[in-house]
Structure 1
Amino acid sequence: MDVINLSELSLMLKTAATRVIYNKRKIDKINVFPVADQDTGSNLTKTLASFKQALGQNAVSTDSLLTKALEAGLASSQGNSGLLIISYLGGLLESLKNKSEIGYFDFSNAFHSATSAAVKSVENPLEGTMLDVMEAFSQSFSADVPGNKQLNRPFERALAATRESLVKTESKMKILLDNNVVDAGALGFTFFIFGFSEKITKVTLDLSTLDVSPVKILPDLKNLENPYEVIFILENPTLTQDELRDILHPYGDSLDIVELENKAKIHIHTDNPEAVEATAQVLGEVGSIETFDMRIKNPNHV
């Protein structure tokens, strides 16, 4: 196989989402960073389930359908992992827009754009996270022999590099090393990209040599420095990502900003949610806003 069409791309995206959704509990149970609230798999699932549902059962896919799916995923996205995966998808699909056939160089450019978009959405990119495996996949895919037209080999090489990068996340952050786990977000993306590649490689993710046992001892969430998570959407924002980041930075950490079409979605952990909510109202037209106390298990916070 040397090219795919939009309908095949849609099928690949649905398979990617399905693999994450199916493995939600495995991802949740090893989640200790940035907050050990065991919801990384759930946040990815909420985001990707809406994205997948919007793609529907149509045999024929179009750019407009993919855009609608992206908007649905953005509206449902939650947590650092949810915003990261939707920013990745935004960069990927923007790069592939208006292409009836997608080949090696199209994919190479798209994976680079997707990774760049994900990195740009994070205020403080760290090693040992989902960004590592995104970068590993993109770099390995693009390193294939020039002139190659077949897709299976670069995908297979990139998957091997992704799995290797996933294993290495454990050694890059003390909290992961202390708990003897890989990063939950990185595991979630690995399920995603293996699922995405299945149609071409026929390879599924082998976890037999990875320690994905549930974390036995979790940190005490009662002592979180920034215990509230605020997530809101701005309609038709007039400020850039950097301008929004400068304004919101003083209020907390884990600040993520995703821009898609005419919307911006912002996620932040804070100790002063009232101030963030008030600031959101003066930044533009607020489409939706939610605040969660991460010290409390909220049934509405999937």
Structure 2
Amino acid sequence: MDSRFPIRERLDGPAVAALIQGGAGRVEANRQRIDQLNVFPVPDGDTGTNLSLTLRACAEAIPGGEVRAGKVTMAAAKGALLGARGNSGVIFSQLFRGWAKALEDKDTVTPLDWARAMEKGVEMAYKAVMKPVEGTILTVARAAAKEALAAARPGSDLDRILTAAVTAAQRALDKTPDQLSLLKEAGVVDAGGQGYVFFLEGCLQALRGESGEPIDSDAMTPVPEAVPAEATAPGGPSSEREPAEAAPERFCYCTEFILKGRQLPLDGLRKRLVDMGDCLLVVGDPDAAKIHIHTDHPGLVLEQALQCGTLHDIHINNMVEQAKARAAVISGEAVKDEGTRTPVAVIAAAPSAGWARLFQEQGAVAVVDGGTSRNPSANDWLAALEKASADFCLLLPNHPNLIMAARQAVQIYGEDRAAVVATRHLPGGLAAMLAFDPGKDVRDLQAGMEKAGRDIRCLEITRAVRDATVNGVAVREGDLIGLLDDSLIAGGVELSGVVREALTVAGGRWELVTLYQGEAVDPSEVERLIEVIEAACPDAEVEAVTTGQPLYPYIIGLE
């Protein structure tokens, strides 16, 4: 067997770097295979993409010509820490962090050092996850580290240790469906665990000098902006998608204010305002409510509200003048500058210019580009934190796969200066913004905003990218599917039927249903869908807002 390195000897910095690059290259080469292992047959399965980008950042952070192994591992770990995307990417970065910590003082690395470093990485990764779940990348990494350490007997070389680790990791991966029922029902193994197996295999290939997939930044596949066209809007396939743009404004003025009084007739006020604009929100209780509407006649809106109570904190903004700023906001280049430092600021993730606009209107000082298949890294969050002129910042991830990277950014930035409001979907993020009160203690504010976000249910409509059975719901590739708070609850070929079924399963007596329209939806289809929602939720006010998100033609907020 030919070997690139003297595998019974110590590994220096260049040798360790080559192994990391080999592992990263193999993950990149299998990125799409990992993406396809998503439990839910949704078009934004992105574990492979997130791991690939995390490892790309890891490999690119290694300084050229560094001969000390410990310096290489520390640089790689820092790159992974800042470049981590998605939950699996964050866990991977913590595996690297522990691994590097164990090797930081080493000029060269022995096989036993490597095995112990793998064990330290697993220890740190488990500590980083608030509620570790078996049947995931954690389980696979732990099994690999255990066997690597067992194989590290006197005289053992790194080839034997890595071979034992790969074998154990694959065995643990094959068992993940027995540990997580959703994996078994979907007929897949854990995607993050599969990525870890590929990484170890790439390390072993590099060690042996075998032809693998060495990482090459120039040759690496670009991050996809979308999935195959068949999984776009309910109306059918489309050509390559262009970046989403906000729809032209129908109304000129964004008008919002606080209404106070006794026994406020909120339902009646909502009915009087609904025809005066769009994006209407009337939320609160009989003593105080927040009103938000896009209208051409803000004065008439205020007159209607004055008949019910007193007005406070009135804000009226010309949205036409704000239009040019939105492109910069969604690209992450713009941070609202009020000229003075604020005590508390909010930074939100959004997948489109339309969503960015909504969050900025509610007071977010910055919006990072993130959501379906575009997960911001910890470094993206850090960049926004450093630009925000605030004593304390609250981050709204608005997606379950963005929470860990946001938390990692906060740990780096300083937990005394920032915190994460763990919003899991976009409607919940908007609800959290409505609860934003900069006058409150930041920890009380964080808790209150999280509660507001949890009180909103989120129904998402998209197309299945493969045949699957999840939660007892069987769907075929191309079917429309409905997910309630990330759980598959409905599927079929006809939009109205899927939405009707999903609303039935969701249950509840909703007061307000908001339909957020994605890119390239048919206006006549929207009208029919509103009729379906009104019939299914007769006691609710139904609002429609154009937000232009990709992949999910409709997102429905239920409150």
Q: Which residue of 2 aligns with 1:93?
A: 100
The letter of the residue matching 1:60 is: E
Provide the C-alpha distance between the structure 1 equivalents of 2:50 and 2:84, rounded to a whole number of angstroms.
7
2:155 to 148, 152, 163: 148
Q: Which residue of 1 aligns with 2:199?
A: 192
Cα distance, 1:198 vs structure 2: 2.2
Distance 1:269 1:187, change over 3 A: farther
1:71-108 CA distance string (max 9 Å, x none): 33322221101101111111111111121121122112
The letter of the residue matching 1:199 is: A
Distance 1:154 1:51, change over 3 A: closer
Provide the C-alpha distance between the structure 2 equivalents of 1:67 and 1:15, rounded to a whole number of angstroms.
17
Report whether the alignment pairs 1:117 with 2:124: yes
Report whether the alignment pairs 1:76 with 2:76: no
Greater relative contact order, per chain length (Cα 8 Å cut-off, separation 6+): 1
Q: Which residue of 1 aligns with 2:134?
A: 127
Where does the alignment leave 5 or more consecutive residues of structure 1 unmatched? 206-217, 219-226, 236-246, 284-292
The letter of the residue matching 2:429 is: P
Q: Given that residues 90 and 260 in structure 1 are in contact (C-alpha distance below 8 angstroms), is that contact kept between their aligned partners in structure 2? A: no
What TM-score does the superposition give when structure 1 sets the normalisation length?
Answer: 0.70
Cα distance, 1:201 vs structure 2: 5.1
Cα RMSD of the aligned pairs, angstroms, is 4.0
Provide the C-alpha distance between the structure 2 equivalents of 1:68 and 1:141, rounded to a whole number of angstroms.
23
Provide the C-alpha distance between the structure 2 equivalents of 1:61 and 1:53, rounded to a whole number of angstroms.
16
Specify the SS of the correspondent of 2:171.
helix
Q: Which residue of 2 aligns with 1:210?
A: none
| Higher normalized helix content (fraction of residues) | 1
Q: Which residue of 2 aligns with 1:209?
A: none
Greater Cα radius of gyration, structure 1 or 2: 2
Report whether the alignment pairs 1:175 with 2:175: no
Where does the alignment leave 5 or more consecutive residues of structure 2 unmatched? 1-6, 213-230, 232-350, 352-369, 384-393, 444-457, 461-548, 552-559
Provide the C-alpha distance between the structure 2 equivalents of 1:8 and 1:145, rounded to a whole number of angstroms.
19
Cα distance, 1:162 vs structure 2: 0.9
Report whether the alignment pairs 1:50 with 2:57: yes
Q: May I ask how many residue pairs the two structures share in their alignment?
A: 255
1:32 to 36, 39, 51: 39
1:48-72 CA distance string (max 9 Å, x none): 112222226x243444454344333
Report whether the alignment pairs 1:17 with 2:20: no
Cα distance, 1:154 vs structure 2: 2.2
Q: Given that residues 88 and 118 in structure 1 are in contact (C-alpha distance below 8 angstroms), is that contact kept between their aligned partners in structure 2? A: yes
The letter of the residue matching 1:22 is: A
Cα distance, 1:124 vs structure 2: 1.3
Cα distance, 1:117 vs structure 2: 1.2
Specify the SS of the correspondent of 2:125.
helix
Distance 1:185 1:37, change over 3 A: same
Task: Report the more deviating stretch, 14-23 or 258-267.
Answer: 258-267
Provide the C-alpha distance between the structure 2 equivalents of 1:6 and 1:140, rounded to a whole number of angstroms.
24
Specify the SS of the correspondent of 2:178.
coil
Distance 1:32 1:107, change over 3 A: same
Distance 1:200 1:49, change over 3 A: closer
The letter of the residue matching 1:273 is: G
Provide the C-alpha distance between the structure 1 equivalents of 2:436 and 2:114, rounded to a whole number of angstroms.
42
Q: Which residue of 1 aligns with 2:429?
A: 273
1:138 to 136, 145, 158: 145
Provide the C-alpha distance between the structure 2 equivalents of 1:52 and 1:101, rounded to a whole number of angstroms.
18
Identity of aligned residues (%): 25
Q: Given that residues 195 and 204 in structure 1 are in contact (C-alpha distance below 8 angstroms), is that contact kept between their aligned partners in structure 2? A: no
| Higher normalized strand content (fraction of residues) | 2
Cα distance, 1:39 vs structure 2: 0.6
The letter of the residue matching 1:125 is: P
Distance 1:94 1:201, change over 3 A: same
Cα distance, 1:174 vs structure 2: 1.6
Cα distance, 1:146 vs structure 2: 3.5
Distance 1:297 1:145, change over 3 A: same
